[in-house]
Chains A and B, each alone.
Chain A
Amino acid sequence: MTITETTGSTHTIVTICGTLDASTAPDFRNSPAIADPSRTVVIDLDKMDFLDSSGLGALVGVLRRKQEANATILLSCMNPPVRKVFDITGTCKLFHIFDDTDAATDYAATYLRGR
């Protein structure tokens, strides 16, 4: 798995490439924008090819911490197999999910700034 961070003024775009599972979840958690609870991130899942329960657990855990600090996670470009994981587990309700990374960043900039 490789993680790329692109930092903007209000939020950071995090691109995850590859697999998010038990072995890569710690790296994900330690990525700077993810580890900072007050930073709102847009996670681009376009190149994520596999997500297992520990990966999902990491995502939900990070979301909790960020929400406590008044920030959040926005997900974008989820492919059908990854969407199924969110659907089956009911975690789709927890996240804002966009089909486009630009739309997600606009959303972060316009709607979330006021909070």
Chain B
Amino acid sequence: MPQPPLRHPGNHNNAMKTLIAIKEQHQSWVRDAFPNMHPLLLPLCNKPFIEYLIDFAILAGSREIRLLSDGSLMEIEEICQTGSRWGVELTYANIRPEDGERELLHKNRKFCNGSRTMILNGYTFIDYDKRLDYRVLANHSATGPIASCSTGSIAFAGPPEPAADDNPLPALRITPLDSLRSCYHIAMQILETGAERYVLPGYGSEPGCAIGRNVAIAKTAEIRKPVSIGNNVQLLPGTIIGPMAVIGSNVIIDKGSSISGSIIFDNTYIGEQLEIEGRIASGNTLIDPESGASVAMEDPHLLTGIHSATNSATLLRKTIHALAAAILILLQAIPVIILYPLLRLQGKWKNGPITQQAGLAETLAARLSLDRFPLLPKVLLGQLAIIGSAPRSNSPGCRPAVFSYAEAEDWPVTGSDAAIVERYHAVHSTPFNDIGMTIKALINRPHKRNAGAAA
């Protein structure tokens, strides 16, 4: 994510330190609502929560920041690393759930080293403004808390500098981040006040419109400011995005759907002809941030608006898939007959050739996708589709298949991305498109393998 440079204060008199302390008890609602997300990475307007705290610490003049938690910090450490991305030194330490400010300072005495220390305590949103200089505040505020709310506080420790002039200190407001409701309202507020106040991800030629990388917007899709759109997003024809829409990364908004006053989290597929207003959508769950009520959108028709499904297409699909499989079997039969004894003798054929090693025969087997050959007869029997969800995937709602749509598309084939591509095609692809996709998969698979992304 591109970060506009934040100005650093001069390294005058023992630069300020910041302790960021966040406890599990304040984040439990995030764990409940989004079990797979680390609460510190909760996106607020497409920017992870922790980055706001880091930005503020930098604005306050900190070059050394320590992140404290009574839970695991591994995931955060993997993402934030040493903090070099922000030009700061980021370290990590653990605390206990009952530790107060006094204990935090005591446990990190070497880090604080007697210098001025800011303690950002709790799961709260700091309503900072990047245009203001918070170093004045940080250097001159009396020891103790300067702002607090129900889930945390900002406090200072260590000797303040005597106030040099009567510059008014910029006011700070902190808001508890204690529910889906507050998360929704804070994200909407960030979107509204926009990039003027916060450092936000994405590019935009005009204010109120930030768009990430690899975003495909159909000609008839309409964008109404303010919006924030992440990376790898597809907006299909007739969609209306905004006003007030936050679209995360790896999202597909299908034909004719409209999103306003809503947050669509990463890895979400919104079906056709749906209207989402004042909601949070995450994966297949749609949540009302006010009441907390949620509905699952796993019903295939809910993903595609209201129209009745027809089963006649299924027979046609099966027939065409079986035909395609038969043709593939005939095409692959000759290379299989030649390569099978060769690879079998070398012990490189177990339920299909092993295609990772780099011998000539293996490379040839990989190029021709012979590893999938043993699965093809199952298509003839109607047990598998020729193309569908990840090979042999058996999760509910998927169409288990020999090849997957994700393999055919040049999309990044990480788990959730692949699931979205597959879901999209499962809804849209006709049996004849499937043949085209199968050919694409056959061509793309060896190409991907060469690129180091072996299936």
Residues on A lying within 8 angstroms of B by beta carbon are 78, 80, 83-84, 86-88, 90, 92-93, 95-100, 102-103, 106-107
Contact = CB atoms under 8 A, between A and B. Distances in A.
A84 B108 CA distance: 17
Interface residues of B, number: 18
Given A93-B94, A93-B96, A97-B94, A87 B73 contact: yes
Interface in B62-89: 70-74
B74 A97 contact: no
A83 B92 contact: yes
27 contacts: A80-B92, A84-B74, A86-B94, A87-B74, A87-B92, A92-B70, A92-B94, A93-B70, A93-B94, A93-B96, A93-B97, A95-B94, A95-B96, A96-B103, A96-B107, A97-B93, A97-B94, A97-B107, A98-B106, A98-B107, A98-B109, A99-B111, A100-B110, A103-B106, A103-B110, A107-B106, A107-B107
Given A106-B106, A107-B106, A99 B93 contact: yes
Given A93-B94, A103-B110, 14 more contacts: A84-B74, A87-B72, A87-B73, A87-B94, A92-B70, A93-B97, A95-B96, A97-B94, A99-B108, A102-B109, A103-B109, A106-B106, A107-B106, A107-B107
A96 B96 contact: yes
Q: Which 10 A-B pairs have the closest CB atoms?
A: A92-B94, A103-B109, A100-B110, A99-B110, A98-B107, A100-B109, A87-B72, A99-B108, A97-B94, A93-B70
B329 interface: no
Nearest to A100: B110
Contacts of B199: none
Contacts, number: 53
A106 B71 CA distance: 25
A84 B75 CA distance: 11
Interface string B209-246: 00000000000000000000000000000000000000
Contact of A83 (B93, B95, B110): B93
A84 B76 CA distance: 12
A100 B66 CA distance: 15
B82 to A, nearest CB: 10
B21 to A, nearest CB: 13
Given A93-B96, A93-B97, A88 B109 contact: no
Residue from A88, A93, A102 with most neighbouring chain B CB atoms (10 Å) = A93
B453 to A, nearest CB: 28
Contacts of B72: 87-88, 90, 92
Contacts of B103: 96
A33 B424 CA distance: 64
